[in-house]
């Protein structure tokens, strides 16, 4: 049985895709099966009227020549060969923006479920990313998902879905049925992720605030479940009285540690360096972080999604910067494969990165919708610090729960991600001698989460040289 965070050893190599954060199944057949079921439903039922935001999206596409060209061509640029051309059931992949709109219209009436297939049980945690999976990396898709007007429309659609995920109707996905989050496999994977950092064996009820006697464990909506909180004491604050100890801001897997990061860099190149000015949304305080140390970690689909302060100090500035939702770098190369056929179009000479947004995390820190919070630490050895919560994929809301001028203690809540993939960065200014970060492994999937509010790093001997 295929699980989102389980052993991938039994997945054939040709069907295995490494997904950072596991927001889409490691076995791509599970994702294809999920999409095929939705397409089959649309094919076998009368067309439904488009909801208001999807209808607006349709009118926007058809009323703008540039956008119409993008959304026509992106589907044509998907290579006409395996694995792009057909899914395991033999049905065609999405081939037009009209079909895309019909799928969006259907999905926005549902909360994410687990998918029970012949290949096992997996979780398509980001359904829009599943729909856009291949076209995001085509030349026209790359252009479209960078376009400010396209992103304004996507924000409208995602906000509408976000409203649905806060309704009681969305809690249907929290059932004990095979496709529910409290099913045997759903609960198993949730607890595997929650227990792993401290090597405990607690139940869901012991770790998270809930009412096990109530329907859906007392969660009123999907979003209520997604933003669930740990019980008091489950994640204690590291060295609360020692300001030289930095606390981990998010329950997350280490992704990268970069020192001497440039204020401005070409983040769209394959190396994906950090571009501090862009990451911090050109805020006037950005200049203080030239040559900064940047620690980045990503949150898994089954993890805890609230942010906590790495230090005690004063909130200097806090804002959400609107950005892209499905942009990824266009890392393509000429395909010289002998598998080309007469059906192959010129545009399919590009090889699509099937790992999608998950492999573009540094790039996304500069472009995706993100929350930026500057904190003046009480510890003068640290001084001004920056936290950036990056909304990936479906995230339409990065919610900040602190305000400018507020004094917070280490470990206090800063905000949260609402539904979707996510990553975050903590930035230290040049010459802050901060060491002891978690090990960064090349294969992030083999490294477990670092507990939120646990020790992330230590400032050495007064911090600044």
> Rounded to whole angstroms, how far apart are CA atoms 193 and 212?
20
Residue 355 confidence (pLDDT) above 80:
no
Give CA angle at 342 (336, 344), nearest 5°. 55
Give the three-state DSSP class for 179.
coil
300 or 331, greater pLDDT = 300
> Rounded to whole angstroms, how far apart are CA atoms 256 and 312?
24
Residue 314 confidence (pLDDT) above 80:
yes
Q: Is residue 388 very low, low, confident or very high in pLDDT (cuts 50, 70, 90)?
A: very high
Query: Is the distance from CB of 372 to CB of 281 less than 8 angstroms?
Result: yes
DSSP designation for 244: T
Q: Is residue 373 very low, low, confident or very high in pLDDT (cuts 50, 70, 90)?
A: very high
> Rounded to whole angstroms, how far apart are CA atoms 340 and 139?
19
Q: Is residue 66 very low, low, confident or very high in pLDDT (cuts 50, 70, 90)?
A: very high
> Rounded to whole angstroms, how far apart are CA atoms 333 and 350?
6
Q: Give pLDDT tens digits for 170-197.
A: 999 999 998 899 999 889 989 999 999 9
What b/e readout covers 2-38, taking b as 16+ CB neighbours within 10 angstroms? bbbbbebeebeeebbbebbbbbbbbbbbbbbbbbbeb
> Rounded to whole angstroms, how far apart are CA atoms 299 and 58?
33
> How far from each other are the two terminal CA atoms of the chain, in whole angstroms?
54
Q: Is residue 336 very low, low, confident or very high in pLDDT (cuts 50, 70, 90)?
A: very low
Q: Is residue 342 very low, low, confident or very high in pLDDT (cuts 50, 70, 90)?
A: very low
Q: Give pLDDT tens digits for 247-291.
A: 999 999 998 999 999 998 665 445 567 889 999 999 999 999 999
Residue 137 pLDDT: 80
Q: Is residue 393 very low, low, confident or very high in pLDDT (cuts 50, 70, 90)?
A: low
Q: Give pLDDT tens digits for 403-450.
A: 999 999 999 999 999 976 688 999 999 999 999 999 887 654 456 899
Task: For residue 159, give Cα distances in angstroms to 72, 163, 256, 329, 430.
Answer: 25, 6, 30, 25, 38
Nearest Cα to Cα of residue 197 among 462, 1, 458, 450: 450
- Which of 74-88, 96-110, 157-171, 209-223 has the largest mean confidence? 209-223
Sole residue written with tokens 């083999």: 446
105 or 9, greater pLDDT = 105
Which helix or strand (DSSP H or E) is residue 314 part of? strand 313-321
Query: Is the distance from CB of 4 to CB of 122 less than 8 angstroms?
Result: yes
With 0-12 CB in 10 A as exposed, 13-18 as middle and 19+ as buried, what is 232? exposed
Strand locations in 365-454 (E): 370-377, 384-391, 398-400, 407-408, 413-417, 422-428, 432-435
Q: Which residues contact 425 (CB under 8 A, 6 or more apart)?
A: 274, 279, 294, 295, 296, 365, 386, 387, 388, 390
Residue 391 pLDDT: 85
Query: Is the distance from CB of 410 to CB of 240 less than 8 angstroms?
Result: yes
**What is the pTM assigned to this prediction?**
0.85
Residue 204 C-beta-side C-alpha neighbours within 13 Å: 22
Residue 400 pLDDT: 97
Residue 265 region, left (φ>0) first, then alpha (ψ -120 to 50), else beta? beta
With 0-12 CB in 10 A as exposed, 13-18 as middle and 19+ as buried, what is 86? middle
């Amino acid at each position: 049985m295929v699980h989102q965070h389980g052993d991938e050893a039994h997945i054939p190599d040709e069907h295995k895709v490494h997904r950072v954060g596991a927001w889409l199944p490691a076995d791509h057949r599970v994702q294809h099966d999920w999409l095929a079921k939705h397409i089959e439903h649309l094919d076998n039922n009368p067309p439904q009227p488009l909801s208001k935001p999807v209808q607006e999206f349709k009118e926007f596409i058809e009323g703008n020549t540039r956008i119409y060209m993008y959304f026509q061509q992106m589907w044509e640029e998907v290579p006409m060969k395996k694995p792009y051309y057909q899914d395991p059931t033999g049905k065609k992949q999405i081939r037009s923006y009209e079909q895309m709109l019909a799928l969006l219209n259907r999905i926005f009436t549902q909360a994410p479920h687990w998918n029970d297939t012949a290949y096992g049980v997996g979780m398509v945690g980001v359904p829009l990313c599943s729909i856009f999976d291949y076209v995001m990396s085509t030349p026209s898709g790359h252009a479209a998902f960078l376009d400010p007007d396209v992103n304004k429309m996507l924000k409208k659609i995602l906000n509408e879905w976000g409203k649905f995920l806060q309704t009681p109707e969305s809690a249907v996905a929290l059932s004990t049925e095979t496709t529910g989050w409290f099913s045997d496999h759903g609960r198993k994977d949730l607890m595997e992720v929650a227990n792993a950092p401290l090597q405990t064996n607690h139940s869901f009820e012991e770790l998270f605030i809930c009412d096990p006697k109530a329907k859906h464990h007392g969660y009123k909506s999907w979003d209520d479940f997604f933003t669930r909180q740990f019980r008091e004491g489950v994640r204690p604050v590291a060295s609360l009285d020692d300001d030289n100890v930095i606390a981990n801001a998010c329950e997350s897997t280490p992704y990268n540690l970069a020192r001497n990061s440039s204020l401005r860099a070409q983040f769209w190149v394959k190396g994906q360096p950090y571009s501090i000015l862009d990451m911090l949304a050109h805020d006037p305080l950005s200049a203080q972080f030239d040559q900064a140390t940047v620690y980045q970690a990503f949150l898994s689909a089954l993890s805890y999604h609230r942010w906590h302060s790495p230090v005690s100090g004063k909130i200097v500035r806090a804002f959400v910067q609107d950005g892209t939702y499905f942009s990824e770098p266009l890392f393509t190369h000429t395909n010289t494969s002998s598998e080309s056929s007469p059906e192959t179009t010129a545009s399919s000479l590009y090889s699509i990165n099937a790992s999608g947004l998950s492999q573009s995390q540094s790039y996304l820190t500069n472009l995706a919708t993100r929350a930026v919070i500057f904190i003046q630490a009480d510890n003068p050895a640290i001084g001004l610090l920056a936290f950036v919560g990056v909304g990936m994929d479906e995230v339409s809301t990065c919610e900040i729960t602190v305000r400018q001028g507020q004094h917070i203690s280490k470990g206090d809540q800063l905000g949260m991600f609402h539904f979707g993939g996510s990553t975050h960065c903590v930035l230290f200014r040049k010459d802050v001698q901060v060491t002891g970060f978690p090990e960064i492994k090349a294969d992030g999937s083999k490294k477990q989460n670092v507990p939120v509010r646990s020790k992330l790093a230590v400032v050495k001997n007064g911090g600044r040289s």
